[in-house]
Amino acid sequence: MVIEILPDDVVAQIAAGEVVERPASVVKELVENSIDADSTSIHIEVSGGGRRLIRVTDNGHGIHTDEVERAFLRHATSKLRIIDDLYRMQTLGFRGEALASIASVSHVTLVTRHKADQTGLRLRLEGGRIAQQQAVGAPSGTTITVENLFFNTPARLKFLKSENTEKRQIVSVITRYAMAYPHIRFVLEQDGRENFRSSGSGQLADVVVQALGLETFKNMVEVGGQEIGSDGSITAVYGYASMPNLHRTDRTRIMLFVNGRAIQDTSLTYAVIQAYHTLLMNGKYPVAILMIELPTQEVDVNVHPTKAEVRFRDGNTVFVAVQRAVRTAVIGHAQTPAMRGGYYNAQGGTASSSAWSSTAHEGQETANQLDMDLSLRDPGQYPRQQPISQNAATAIPEGMGTPAKPRTLPVLRVVGQVGATYIVAEGPAGLYLIDQHAAHERILYEQFMDTYGQERQMTQHTLGSQTVNFSPEEAHLLEGNLDLLRAIGFTLEPFGPNTFVIRGVPAILADSDPLEVVSSIPQDLELGKKPGHESVEDKIILRVCKQAAVKAGQILSLREMQSLIQQLERCRSPHTCPHGRPTILHMTSDQLAREFGRMH
């Protein structure tokens, strides 16, 4: 083999592979350039999922005629001079690679006029080589048209996803930038159809409505918070996050931005998910749009060619900032899911299964949403449900000597029990149905967590000497975790090979058979070690609460129901059980009136 230096165009194509992976990456780079050029309006036209044509037109400052050619050279940039600039970066671009890369794998036509110049320039490049150049009259700003993407790299073409996937990716790129730059007006057209439009009002709320729909937005709460790092630098987090009744089956709607840049970050995504701990069921994920702002020297944006990932100097502070801000916002607003209207099916008169559902079906509206053109301005005008805790400030004194915790639910009057499973109650705002088991789990969980780690009195010593037998692996696992189990309230003593005596159990299990919980502990110990899972302690505590809670099918006396409701009224997060399932469904007086035809 002879070692040879690669010709320039091959080098360019190889390099292009890093930055221009797919049509959506071209859109991203061009839009970033338009934003960096101080545009207030950016128009994006796409056809054939970006393979046939991508055209981005902006009203930014434009490029001087004598610099246009240079803009297409590799490592040509107006944004960075010395390496230290990286840590003061205010612009989205800095690598000077995008235009060169895009041009090397497509046909590019650029028309630009710098705002200080009289005439503009039209330049055409084919596979990176200049094919045509002429002076033209043009409005100030820049239009770049990219055609026949990857025409000279057939291998890359083969790897492209379907046209529809690309179209969706492009919508996702544009909506994200629109959120990060609410004062810029974005219009996206694909195959002659308007896909998305933002008003450029400067309000993030407007863009969220325009991108995700009013229904989704109504189920989100405003997030705002900040954290001070060890060196005194401030990380601010703001945006919107879904209330627990709005969720999705994947994480794709957790959108994170750092200093105006959409980023991917597994750890921060997890911070958001954790903020919903015990509020969302397993496998359900929130919707969140979060802007993270911190001093530029705290972030390294140069870790990824497409700049999709960043590195934080103090990742922990950022993690805490995100988690705390979201948690505070969501807990403050968690509310009883209202039973949705249309309880009876219009045609058949049978109860529709979704009528009492507590879930806002967020995914379904997006397709139509893209056609929406709402020019709403004032974020205050969007109707929002009031958190119940606000209209129930008057606390009634609770049992003997317990300091009255603030009320998180209105005062509810128990009416009765249905199917030995649900409690029917009346409140100021209508009818409430409470799942007795889920509600009791929530109560026990919060009680447990309040005392956990502070005292030892939670252990109830058992009189008999019940023994449990495990497999050798399980026994080994238990043996290594006896201290942890003791902290939760389980006193287990080794007793012969793979066998343990139960000497004590958490006090709340006093009345139930501990065997079931104890036998499943090894399973929790096993799972809890995997990243992304709840901690072992948490899993076991959840199991204990589940076991101790009243079951469905158990008939309760009026007093028992009243006591349960009173305790639920004081829970910090009364609306979901610790597994994230709803504890309460609410049908408002209005909904009742509507269903009974009393409202027209």
Q: Which residues bind Mg ion (CB under 5 A)?
A: 33, 93, 98
Please say which residue, 76 or 592, places its beta carbon nearer to Mg ion.
76
Which of 317, 318, 302 is closest to 265 using CA atoms? 318
Query: Closest distance between ligand ADP and the C-beta of residue 147, in Å?
Result: 17
Stretch that binds ligand ADP, among 29-37, 254-262, 263-271, 474-482 (CB under 6 A): 29-37
Q: How far is the CB of 187 from Mg ion (least distance, A)?
A: 21
User: What are the CA-CA distances from residue 574 to residues 287, 330, 464 (Å)?
Assistant: 21, 13, 36
Minimum CB–partner distance for residue 89 and ligand ADP (Å) = 10
Pick one of ligand ADP, Mg ion, none as the site partner of residue 76 (Cβ within 5 to 8 A by kind): ligand ADP
Residue whose C-beta lies closest to ligand ADP: 93
Say which residues have a Cβ less than 8 Å from residue 511's Cβ, sequence separation at least 6: 548
Given ligand ADP, Mg ion, none, residue 58, with its beta carbon under 5 to 8 Å by kind, binds ligand ADP
CB of 73 to ligand ADP, least distance (A): 9
Residue type, 335: Q
| Least gap, CB of 171 to Mg ion (angstroms) | 21
What is the CA angle 202-205-206, rounded to 5?
Answer: 65
Residue 256: name its binding partner from ligand ADP, Mg ion, none (Cβ under 5 to 8 Å by kind): none
Name, in order, each residue with C-beta under 8 angstroms of 240's C-beta and a sequence gap of 6 or more. 204, 205, 208, 217, 220, 221, 222, 223, 288, 289
| Residue 531 CB contacts under 8 Å (≥ 6 apart), including other chains | none
- The residue among 120 and 580 lying less far from ligand ADP, judged by its C-beta, is 120
Minimal distance, residue 91 CB to Mg ion, in Å: 8
Q: Considering the complex, state which of residue 97 and residue 446 has its C-beta at the smaller distance from ligand ADP.
A: 97
Q: Which is nearer to ligand ADP, 71 or 237 (CB)?
A: 71
Closer CB to Mg ion, 29 or 166, in the complex: 29
The per-residue b/e assignment along 41-66, b for 16 or more CB within 10 angstroms, e otherwise, is: ebbbbbbbbbbebbbbbbbbbbbbbe
CB under 5 to 8 A by kind: which of ligand ADP, Mg ion, none does 427 bind?
Answer: none
Q: Identify the bridge partners of residue 109 per DSSP, sorted by sequence position.
A: 124, 145
Residues 38-67 that bind ligand ADP (CB under 6 A): 58, 60-63
Measured from the CB atom, the residue of 102 and 237 that comes closer to Mg ion is 102
- The single residue listed with the structure tokens 């249905």 is 418
Are 535 and 528 in contact by the 8 Å Cβ rule? The answer is yes
37 binds ligand ADP (CB under 6 A): yes
- Rounded Cα distance between 59 and 42, Å, is 7
Report, in Å, the least distance between residue 394 CB and Mg ion. 58
Q: Which is nearer to Mg ion, 101 or 408 (CB)?
A: 101
Answer for the pair 89, 296: CB distance below 8 angstroms, yes or no. yes
Nearest approach, Cβ of residue 81 and Mg ion (Å): 16
Burial class of residue 165 (count of CB atoms within 10 Å of its CB; 0-12, 13-18, 19+): middle
Q: Are 187 and 55 in contact (CB under 8 A)?
A: no
Contacts of 460 (CB under 8 A, 6+ apart): 489, 504, 505, 506, 507, 509, 510
In the range 437-476, which residues lie near ligand ADP by CB under 6 A? none
What's CA 520's distance to the chain center, in Å?
32
CB of 267 to ligand ADP, least distance (A): 27
Q: Where in 371-400 is the site for ligand ADP (CB under 6 A)?
A: none
- Residue number, 98 or 262, with CB nearest to ligand ADP: 98
Binding mask 62-101 for ligand ADP (x = CB under 6 A): xx-------x----xxxx-------------xxxxxxxx-
Contact criterion met (CB below 8 Å) for 328 and 222: no
Residue 94: contacted member of Mg ion, ligand ADP, none (CB under 5 to 8 Å, by partner type): ligand ADP
Q: Are 222 and 398 in contact (CB under 8 A)?
A: no
Which residues have CB under 8 Å from 467's CB, separation 6+?
A: 495, 499, 500, 501, 502
Residue number with CB closer to Mg ion (79 or 115): 79
Size of the site for ligand ADP (CB under 6 A): 23
Question: Which residue lies nearer to ligand ADP by CB, 96 or 430?
Answer: 96
| Closest-CA residue to 490 (of 520, 447, 460, 451) | 460
Question: Closest approach of Cβ 179 to Mg ion, in Å?
Answer: 20
Q: Which is nearer to ligand ADP, 105 or 443 (CB)?
A: 105
Contacted by 166, from Mg ion, ligand ADP, none: CB < 5 to 8 Å by type = none
Q: Which residue lies nearer to ligand ADP by CB, 80 or 330?
A: 80
Nearest distance from C-beta of residue 105 to Mg ion, angstroms: 16
Least spacing, CB of residue 140 vs ligand ADP, in Å = 10
Residue closest to Mg ion (Cβ) = 93
Say if residue 336 is exposed, middle or buried (CB neighbours under 10 Å; 0-12, 13-18, 19+): buried
Torsion sign over Cα 20, 22, 24, 26: positive
| Binding footprint of ligand ADP on the chain (CB under 6 A) | 29, 33-34, 37, 58, 60-63, 71, 76-79, 93-100, 142
